[in-house]
Amino acid sequence: MLQNSNKKRIAIFGSTGSIGTQALDVIEANPHLFTAEVLTANSNDQLLIEQALKFQPNIVVIGDERKYNKVKEALASTDIKVFTGEQALEDVAALDCYDMMLAAIVGFAGLKPTLKAVQAGKPIGLANKETLVVAGDIIMQEAIKYRVPMIPVDSEHSAIFQCLVGETRNKIEKIILTASGGPFLGRKPNFLVNVKRDHALHHPNWNMGAKISIDSATLMNKGLEMIEAKWLFDLHHSQISVVVHPQSIIHSMVQFEDGSIKAQMGLPDMKLPIQYAMAFPHRIRNNFPRYDFMRPDTLNFEEPDIKTFRNLYLAQIALEKGGNLPCVMNAANEIAVYAFLRNRIGFLDMTDLIERTMEKITFIEKPGLDDYFESDADARNFAASLIKL
């Protein structure tokens, strides 16, 4: 077990989100192991203030500068330092005062602070998969350079990471990412064309933020996770496979060269991979409900329907082609999801928008960081222009 004397000081970037709030639950349940040192939010000032008053961090950052005064005033009677703006997120990520970043911002916005934390030598608990989708080569190179552990929080990648403990000398033949299939498993385009926001937001097994819920409904989430896995585990695209497993009990699997397969299992609860990442290499006790093999469920497995859920097909193309294509795809997807959530485009229009953007933006085989930022901006502008956002 971890010692009481050296509590890990956690910086939660994106503390007001689904992952962020669950990370705070883990800290609250284990006050002898962890403290919340930094909390950041984009615009939810009210929740950030409540969290700050409860957890008494050293620093909070509110992204939206219009909310700064309100947060500052609410915390005036405390010692908590309050900063605001995009640059502040990066500056705070580079500070010495914390031990681990929990990267729980959603989307491309998480990239810069995470990169700064890596370059400051901070271990990362990585929920923000988009960081690796956009610039996985650069992030992983920097992680090696600064000897930074990248511990996945995404449940599938946490599962693979857990399966690999003790296997450093053994080659991976392939990994098998499990996918729940989302709320529209088995549906066809004639149904999907009429799907609305609220239906798509309702995931059968997980309660998550809006963006990842839509990504799960379109299967883009699994595509992003294939790319995330490539970088995290240094795999060739041919080693990454997906199987639909609607019950979300097996969180993913690793098949080794001898054909042996390891799986990591449990009831779906994001607090498990969050606390595993925070406490690694230790496991900490909890009283979460346990999976019961005696209950009358069966575990099912089937092939993903990439003809219907074409986002997964597009992500496989991006994974295989590499370069700036995953970055472009991610940017177009962020615009598509944003527009869908505001009822500006239909469910299937999201795929068209992404595909047209991937065709339009110039391919760069070996991009640098600036190329990624430029590709992201170009892809966003082009995608937004298609739907007159």
Binding site for ligand NAD (CB under 6 A): 14-20, 41-42, 44, 63, 104-106, 109, 127-130, 154, 206, 208-212, 270
Could you give the CA distance from residue 358 to residue 383 in angstroms, rounded to a whole number?
10
Residues, the chain: 389
Tell me which H or E stretch contains 218.
helix 210-218
Q: Which of Mg ion, ligand NAD, none binds 212 (CB below 5-8 Å, type-dependent)?
A: ligand NAD
Q: Which is nearer to Mg ion, 154 or 376 (CB)?
A: 154
Query: 122 pairs with which residues across the strands?
Result: none
Q: How far apart are CB 320 and ligand NAD at their closest, in Å? A: 22
The nearer residue to ligand NAD, 104 or 185, going by C-beta atoms, is 104
Beta bridge pairs of residue 264 = 252
Residue 299 Cβ, how far from Mg ion at the closest point, in Å?
18
Smallest separation, CB 365 to ligand NAD (Å):
26
**Which residues, 133 to 172, sit near Mg ion by CB under 5 A?**
154-156
* Smallest separation, CB 228 to Mg ion (Å): 9
- The number of beta carbons lying within 10 Å of the beta carbon of residue 298 is 5
Tell me how far apart the alpha carbons of residues 183 and 7 are, in angstroms, rounded to a whole number: 40
CB 291, CB 39: distance < 8 Å: no
- Residue number, nearest CB to ligand NAD: 17
CB of 24 to ligand NAD, least distance (A): 11
For 142-162, letters b (16+ CB in 10 Å) and e give bbeeeebebbbbbbbbbbbbb
- Contact partner, 41, from Mg ion, ligand NAD, none, Cβ < 5-8 Å per class: ligand NAD
Token match 């992952």: residue? 19
- Complex with ligand NAD: residue 212 or 254, whichever CB lies closer: 212
By beta-carbon proximity to ligand NAD, the closer residue of 106 and 124 is 106
Closest CA to 137 of 349, 316, 364, 360: 364
Residue 217 C-beta: closest distance to Mg ion, Å: 13
130 binds Mg ion (CB under 5 A): no
In the chain, the N- to C-terminal Cα span, in Å, equals 52
Residue number with CB closer to Mg ion (153 or 350): 153
